[in-house]
């Protein structure tokens, strides 16, 4: 029987096993990330730069001839519980920071560990703000995604209502960092959560946020319900 997926299958930052097509898309994204990283202040001659520009412009022209897949139709199939694995990957694997098929991915890896969301990341040169440090806006985006992961404890679909951050120390580039978040409480349609970024054992960013459910009051999934 062909495997089918419902929107409830989606977990933030987690993908099903890739198809052969998605593996190829990830190879493309990986090459684009390498190019992006290398292009930052690349020391090349004007002639070499012109050659690369021509090659990449020609590739962009060929790629632009392809149509986009019907994203609204994919979402409709997901909400109907009739999405294929490729449909699910075409949605999740292009998520910013966590999707492996996009050059806008670190990747940021997230998972649930008991009642805690855990994660890890490593920011390369394209994510730089101050010299040698991760841009604060990128860390804000990271915390938005990290705290959104707490919704995996619930069947609800919610959106960011409030996100507050405190930058306590620099977050260095090209350094493994860890992340963690947890639910503080739920109040009807509001989910209160908090998280932080750690460089070693030192906290560099703290965040708190409120997510607002689009589908009624938040209710714990049975397997995560506090005792």
Q: Please report the DSSP string for 43-109 in residue order.
A: ---HHHHHHHHHHHHHHHHHHTTSPPP-HHHHHHHHHHT-B-HHHHHHHHTTSTBT-TTSTTB-PPE
pLDDT at 226 (0 to 100)? 84
Q: What is the pTM of this model?
A: 0.92
pLDDT at 3 over 90: no
54-101 confidence digits (pLDDT tens): 999 999 999 999 999 999 999 999 999 999 999 999 999 999 999 999
**Measured distance CA(213)–CA(220) in Å, rounded:** 13
- What's the mean per-residue pLDDT of the chain? 95
What the chain holds in terms of domains, given with CATH numbers, is 1-107 (no CATH), 108-224 (3.10.129.10)
Question: Count of H helices and E strands in the chain?
Answer: 5, 6
140-165 confidence digits (pLDDT tens): 999 999 999 999 999 988 999 999 99
Q: At which residue do the structure tokens 């008991």 appear?
A: 114
Asked whether 145 and 211 are in contact (CB, 8 A), the reply is no
């Amino acid at each position: 029987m062909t495997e089918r997926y419902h929107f409830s299958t989606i977990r933030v930052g987690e993908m099903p096993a890739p198809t052969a097509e998605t593996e190829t898309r990830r190879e493309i994204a990986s090459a684009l990330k390498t190019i992006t990283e290398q292009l930052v202040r690349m020391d090349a001659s004007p002639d070499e730069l012109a050659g690369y520009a021509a090659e990449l412009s020609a590739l962009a022209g060929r790629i632009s001839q392809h149509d986009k897949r019907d994203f609204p139709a994919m979402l409709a199939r997901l909400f109907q519980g009739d999405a294929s694995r490729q449909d699910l990957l075409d949605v999740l694997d292009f998520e910013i920071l966590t999707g492996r098929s996009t050059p806008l991915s670190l990747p940021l890896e997230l998972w649930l560990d008991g009642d805690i969301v855990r994660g890890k990341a490593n920011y390369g040169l394209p994510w730089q703000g101050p010299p040698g440090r991760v841009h604060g806006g990128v860390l804000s985006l990271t915390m938005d995604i990290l705290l959104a992961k707490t919704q995996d404890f619930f069947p609800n679909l919610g959106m960011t209502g409030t996100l507050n951050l405190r930058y306590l120390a620099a977050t260095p580039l090209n350094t493994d960092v860890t992340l963690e978040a947890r639910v503080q409480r739920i109040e009807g349609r509001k989910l209160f959560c908090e998280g932080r970024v750690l460089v070693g054992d030192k906290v560099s960013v703290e965040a708190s946020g409120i997510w607002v459910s689009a589908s009624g009051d938040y209710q714990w999934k049975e397997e995560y319900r506090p005792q």
